[in-house]
Structure 1
Amino acid sequence: MPDVTADGLRVLFCGINPGLTTAATGHHFARPGNRFWPVLHLSRFTPRLLKPAEQGELPSHGLGITNVVARATARADELTTEEYVEGGRLLTARVERLRPRWLAVVGVTAYRAAFGDRKAVVGPQERAIGDSRVWVLPNPSGLNAHWTTATMAEEFGRLRVAAEG
């Protein structure tokens, strides 16, 4: 699954890993019911609701997308601890190279596993990767019932304000 990146992004969003729909289409967060694209728009990162097939427009808004783990699975719980740890190492190298203002990991469980931070919570983290700050966002999967679209948009909006500053 190719990343959508550029140098000097305001925010590099990082999903857990590609789902099967994403892998089949080549578009990040492509599964129907995933709330990433609506939340991105509701939080005013994008001026209109983008479709997954329009992901190439993200860099023009200072945004990009990557994943912690490259392997596609039906569910994130199919990933191993080793895959997360290796993914965290590779992600760190990617962030050091691209130097986004913020790395936004979409999913607190993935962040904890990839970076060995068992106490991490949603929000800005103490950790930085080079000059890039780190923010953990809620997982936009439709399976994440703990967060509504509205509450996710509020959290994404907090990051947007920080990234604009």
Structure 2
Amino acid sequence: MSETSSPQEEATDNLPTPTFAGRLKLSEFIFTPEQKKSMPLQQPLRKSPRLLTSTSSSSTPLLQPSPSIPSPLKRSPSEPPSSISSPSKRKRPKPLPTPPGPLPLLPDAIAPNLILLFVGLNPGLLTSSTGHAYAHPTNLFWRLLHSSGITPRLCAPQEDRLLPSLFSLGLTNIVPRPTRNGAELSKKEMDAGVAVLEEKIRKFKPEVVCIVGKSIWESVWRVRHGRGIKKEEFRYGWQERGEDMGKVEGGGEWNGARVFVACSTSGLAATLKPREKEEIFGELGEWVVKRRREREEEKGVGSGTDGGEDGGEGIGQVDDAEVKQES
């Protein structure tokens, strides 16, 4: 390769080196304290003339939907309404009514001198068709009886007739008419069942009556006091001795059954959580276990008579000291 340079390369080598000498005055860019005092605190922002023109005209929006494309939020008059509604406006389906025609009634499982008599609202359709109490699988009645100790084992609905002889427990309802749900019962129909219930308690004389559901106790209260129960007057658990049911006028050996108000065990009743329901039945279960043990001890020493199918040993009384009164 030749080491000689071409005429163009020699001309490039002879060019002067680029420099700002004489053109850039660095002294003009040096900051001095005097300049800081003379500077304004805030420079005003410059606005684009195009934006000023668009914002000043309020009559014409910046974005307009094309007239040929319909808005997705509007429905043309010829378009049928949508079958999907918002959750807030969606109506719940009405419950099916009770099938017409007479339905089988549910007989009571009851005997004299029981430790405890349960009072339910009325039979459901499945209970009526099977002939056994609390037969619906979502009903918590039998499971709550077992978890609270009221029954020493988990019983099936088919054993409802055996409760008096096995565990000194009884079953009845304030309204005998079966329905699909309790909403089909009127206050008048429920109030009419209070007198029948009181007479039944006077006849069979259980030690304690457990009201299974707030609405049942509201009916009893309404008939007794001539008005509805106030919110501050209602409570679950043991009630005052003045509210004992089945009292016999003129006194006597038996002064009525103590009342315990429990929550509804229906699967449709979701006001209370399962743990809260267990606590309510657990309080009643503590007393039942203690009272059943006392009866067995009395029977063992021969202090009572063998009740057999009566389910008890004579007329029992509930002492105030035996129950835990809620404040």
Relative to the length of structure 1, the TM-score reads 0.94
SS at match of 2:244: strand
1:128 aligns to what?
244
- The answer to whether the 8 Å contact 2:140/2:266 transfers is yes
Give the Cα–Cα distance (whole angstroms) in 2 for the partners of residues 69 and 114 of structure 1. Answer: 12
Give the Cα–Cα distance (whole angstroms) in 2 for the partners of residues 158 and 144 of structure 1. Answer: 20
- The answer to whether the 8 Å contact 1:7/1:98 transfers is yes
Give the Cα–Cα distance (whole angstroms) in 2 for the partners of residues 162 and 49 of structure 1. Answer: 19
> What's the offset of the Cα at 1:118?
1.5
1:78 aligns to what?
184
Unmatched 5+ stretches in structure 1: none
Q: 1:67 aligns with which of 141, 158, 173?
A: 173
- Which string of whole-angstrom CA distances, capped at 9 and with x for unpartnered residues, describes residues 39-65 of structure 1? 000001111110100112211211110
Deviates more, 1:134-143 or 1:117-126: 117-126
1:57 aligns to what?
162
Q: Which has the higher contact order (CA 8 A, sep 6+)?
A: 1
Partner AA of 2:244 in structure 1: A
Q: 1:109 aligns with which of 215, 218, 223?
A: 215
- Which string of whole-angstrom CA distances, capped at 9 and with x for unpartnered residues, describes residues 21-47 of structure 1? 111111111111000000000001111
> What's the offset of the Cα at 1:150?
3.2
Give the Cα–Cα distance (whole angstroms) in 1 for the partners of residues 137 and 263 of structure 2. Answer: 18
Q: 1:147 aligns with which of 265, 272, 291?
A: 272
Give the Cα–Cα distance (whole angstroms) in 2 for the partners of residues 39 and 22 of structure 1. Answer: 18
- Which string of whole-angstrom CA distances, capped at 9 and with x for unpartnered residues, describes residues 88-110 of structure 1? 11001001111111110100112
- The answer to whether the 8 Å contact 2:149/2:286 transfers is no
> What's the offset of the Cα at 1:133?
0.6
Partner AA of 1:146 in structure 2: T
**Higher helix proportion, which one?**
1
**Higher strand proportion, which one?**
1
Deviates more, 1:18-27 or 1:107-116: 107-116
- Which string of whole-angstrom CA distances, capped at 9 and with x for unpartnered residues, describes residues 97-155 of structure 1? 11111110100112102331513321112200222011110000111112233322221
Give the Cα–Cα distance (whole angstroms) in 2 for the partners of residues 74 and 114 of structure 1. Answer: 23
Aligned-residue sequence identity (percent) comes to: 37
Give the Cα–Cα distance (whole angstroms) in 2 for the partners of residues 160 and 47 of structure 1. Answer: 10
Relative to the length of structure 2, the TM-score reads 0.49
Q: 1:48 aligns with which of 111, 129, 153?
A: 153
Q: 1:118 aligns with which of 229, 252, 271?
A: 229
- The answer to whether the 8 Å contact 1:138/1:152 transfers is yes
Unmatched 5+ stretches in structure 2: 1-105, 223-227, 248-255, 292-321, 323-327
Partner AA of 2:179 in structure 1: T
Partner AA of 2:125 in structure 1: L
2:72 aligns to what?
none
Deviates more, 1:63-72 or 1:145-154: 145-154
The total of aligned residue pairs comes to 165
